[in-house]
């Protein structure tokens, strides 16, 4: 067998470097182009989104609210609290266990009325002893007086010496002094007994009960676990509203100026009042001046520590104004005329809704809305002509 010795042709196995380099270049170009296109898309999307956000205008909105006719004469408004000008935490002058408490929250008391009592057995016993000593001293005084008269008679007749007379006079004077001491001890014991009685210092109403029967009460609560005040009472006729007025506005408030008081608890009720006093000092931290407003008329629903709003008025409120009901109003600048109709731009879920309204007059710088809105609706203040139904907006 013969083996072929022909030389193999290896030229076919040569790598075509030109073709490989050409393919790599083509792929690289495609990658660069794809990346550039993606970058352009991202940048374009960013600016489109940015432009979309920038296109949403910000608008100032306000709330349709109830306004009283007296607000037309309002100078300024301030908030405060109802405070009793005559208020006392009634405590005992003596230390002891509380054995009687005759009042509870809401009870009315009269000046001098016994509202509580602490244990007094030792004081009662001391008073009884003082009175017994006083009676004994009175008996000694009567005996000394009679002895002095007899001694004087005997001395006048010569049957008694001057020493006897001097002794009778000294005894009489000594007994007189002792009876004054006994009287003072009786008064002291009576005062000690009175100190076990806790009385109302003025006519008022019990606000809080701070102690219970069986607890130890003491002046200034000096003992551990003891109570100081037994009850807290206030004179409800002294209720006033204490409100803070900023320093920049205090010149607009005058003593005696009319006011209108509204309590947060009863927003539908208005109470006429007047500026009773402007406290002659400022609060450095808050830059305010306390102003006390007194009620002209009030009812039993007005209670201490209620939050209140005071409207300072430029002139006295008329009786007819006081009886009028509040009106739904918006700032007059919120109303625009389009196609011959009065409308407001209602803001709901970030979109504008053109809403026709019927205007029924004005209260100061606000317009009365008789029809078309409800209390609490949000409307645009001073709307731009470009805003219309469907426009997207953001509230400032």
For residues 166-188, average pLDDT = 93
* Mean pLDDT lowest among 55-59, 191-195, 289-293, 356-360: 55-59
Nearest to 67, CA basis, from 284, 384, 369: 369
CA 364 vs. chain centroid, Å, equals 30
In a shared domain, residues 223 and 269: no
Number of structural domains (the chain) is: 4
pLDDT in tens, 101-129: 999 999 999 999 999 999 999 999 999 99
In a shared domain, residues 65 and 179: no
pLDDT in tens, 301-321: 999 999 999 999 988 766 555
Distance CA 83, CA 243 (A): 10
Nearest to 175, CA basis, from 150, 138, 133, 129: 138
Q: Is residue 48 part of a domain?
A: no
Cβ-based burial of 343 (10 A; exposed 0-12, middle 13-18, buried ≥19)? buried
pLDDT in tens, 82-99: 999 999 999 888 888 999
Confidence of residue 32 (pLDDT cuts 50, 70, 90): low
pLDDT of residue 53 exceeding 80: no
Query: The CATH number of the domain where 266 resides is what?
Result: 2.40.30.170
Helix and strand counts by DSSP (H, E) for the chain: 4, 25
User: In the beta sheet, which residues pair with residue 347?
Assistant: 352
Nearest to 297, CA basis, from 379, 222, 237, 212: 237
In a shared domain, residues 96 and 220: yes
What value does the CA radius of gyration of the chain take, rounded to a whole number of Å? 47
In a shared domain, residues 360 and 370: yes
CA 11 vs. chain centroid, Å, equals 103
Confidence of residue 228 (pLDDT cuts 50, 70, 90): confident
In a shared domain, residues 189 and 224: no
Confidence of residue 267 (pLDDT cuts 50, 70, 90): confident
Q: Is residue 287 part of a domain?
A: yes
Mean per-residue pLDDT over the chain, rounded: 85
Nearest to 347, CA basis, from 62, 65, 67: 62
Query: The CATH number of the domain where 169 resides is what?
Result: 1.10.287
Distance CA 304, CA 201 (A): 19
Distance CA 210, CA 230 (A): 5
pLDDT at 293: 97
Q: Is residue 3 part of a domain?
A: no
pLDDT at 269: 86
pLDDT at 43: 63
Phi and psi, residue 200, nearest 5°: -75, 130
Of the residues 323, 354, 380, which one is the last residue of a structural domain? 323
pLDDT in tens, 7-28: 445 455 555 555 545 555 555 5
Q: Is residue 347 part of a domain?
A: yes
Q: Where are the alpha helices (DSSP H) in the chain?
A: 17-54, 121-157, 162-194, 319-323
Phi and psi, residue 120, nearest 5°: -140, 15
DSSP H or E segment with residue 240: strand 239-246
In a shared domain, residues 331 and 379: yes
Q: Is residue 299 part of a domain?
A: yes
For residues 196-214, average pLDDT = 93
In a shared domain, residues 204 and 299: no
User: For 298, which DSSP code?
Assistant: -
pLDDT at 159: 86
Q: Is residue 332 part of a domain?
A: yes
pLDDT at 192: 92
* Percentage of the chain lying above the pLDDT 90 cut: 59
Query: The CATH number of the domain where 224 resides is what?
Result: 2.40.50.100
In a shared domain, residues 134 and 258: no
For residues 191-218, average pLDDT = 92
In a shared domain, residues 248 and 158: no
In a shared domain, residues 219 and 110: yes
Looking at per-residue pLDDT, the higher value among 100 and 42 belongs to: 100
Distance CA 95, CA 218 (A): 4
pLDDT in tens, 316-353: 766 555 566 788 999 999 999 998 899 999 999 889 99
Of the residues 215, 234, 253, which one is the last residue of a structural domain? 234
Token output for 96: 């002891």
C-beta separation of 226 from 216 below 8 A: yes
pLDDT at 127: 95
Q: Domain range holding 209?
A: 88-118+196-234
Sign of the dihedral through C-alpha 44, 45, 47, 52: positive
Tell me the residue length of the chain.
396
In a shared domain, residues 331 and 367: yes
Residue 90: partners with Cβ closer than 8 Å, 6 or more residues away: 115, 198, 200, 201, 229, 230, 231, 232, 233
Of the residues 265, 300, 323, which one is the last residue of a structural domain? 323
Sign of the dihedral through C-alpha 128, 133, 134, 139: positive
Q: Is residue 175 part of a domain?
A: yes
pTM: 0.63
Q: Is residue 29 part of a domain?
A: no
Confidence of residue 244 (pLDDT cuts 50, 70, 90): very high
Query: The CATH number of the domain where 366 resides is what?
Result: 2.40.420.20
Distance CA 165, CA 151 (A): 6
In a shared domain, residues 110 and 204: yes
C-beta separation of 55 from 192 below 8 A: no
């Amino acid at each position: 067998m013969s083996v072929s010795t022909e030389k193999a042709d290896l030229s076919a196995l040569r790598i075509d470097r030109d073709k490989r380099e050409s393919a790599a270049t083509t792929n690289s170009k495609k990658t660069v182009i794809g990346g550039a296109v993606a970058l352009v898309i991202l940048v374009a999307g960013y600016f489109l989104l940015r432009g979309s956000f920038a296109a949403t205008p910000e608008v100032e909105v306000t709330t349709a609210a109830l306004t009283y006719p007296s607000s037309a004469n309002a100078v300024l408004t301030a908030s405060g609290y109802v405070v009793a000008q005559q208020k006392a935490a009634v405590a005992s002058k003596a230390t002891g266990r509380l054995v009687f408490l005759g009042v509870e929250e809401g009870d009315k008391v009269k000046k001098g009325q016994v509202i509580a009592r602490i244990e007094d057995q030792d004081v009662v016993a001391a008073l009884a002893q003082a009175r017994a000593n006083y009676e004994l001293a009175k008996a000694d005084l009567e005996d000394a007086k009679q002895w002095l008269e007899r001694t004087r008679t005997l001395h006048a007749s010569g049957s008694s010496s001057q020493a006897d007379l001097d002794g009778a006079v000294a005894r009489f004077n000594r007994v007189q002094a002792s009876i004054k001491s006994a009287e003072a001890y009786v008064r002291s014991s009576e005062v000690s007994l009175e100190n076990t009685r806790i009385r109302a210092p003025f006519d008022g109403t019990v606000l809080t009960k701070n102690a219970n029967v069986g607890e130890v009460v003491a002046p200034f609560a000096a003992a551990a676990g003891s109570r100081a005040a037994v009850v807290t009472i206030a004179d409800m006729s002294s209720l006033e509203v204490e409100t803070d007025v900023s320093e920049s506005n205090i010149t607009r408030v005058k003593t005696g100026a009319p006011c209108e008081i509204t309590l947060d608890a009863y927003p539908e009720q208005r109470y006429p009042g007047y500026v009773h006093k402007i406290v002659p000092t400022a609060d450095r931290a808050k830059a305010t001046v306390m102003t006390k407003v007194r009620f002209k008329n009030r009812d039993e629903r007005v209670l201490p520590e209620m939050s209140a709003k005071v409207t300072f008025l430029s002139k006295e409120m008329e009786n007819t104004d006081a009886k009028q009901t509040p009106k739904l109003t918006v700032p007059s600048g919120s109303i625009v005329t389009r196609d011959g109709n009065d409308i407001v731009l209602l803001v709901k879920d970030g979109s504008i809704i053109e809403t026709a309204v019927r205007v029924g007059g004005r209260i100061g710088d606000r317009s009365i809305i008789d029809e078309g809105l409800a209390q609490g609706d949000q409307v645009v203040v001073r709307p731009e002509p470009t805003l219309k139904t469907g426009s997207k907006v953001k509230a400032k």
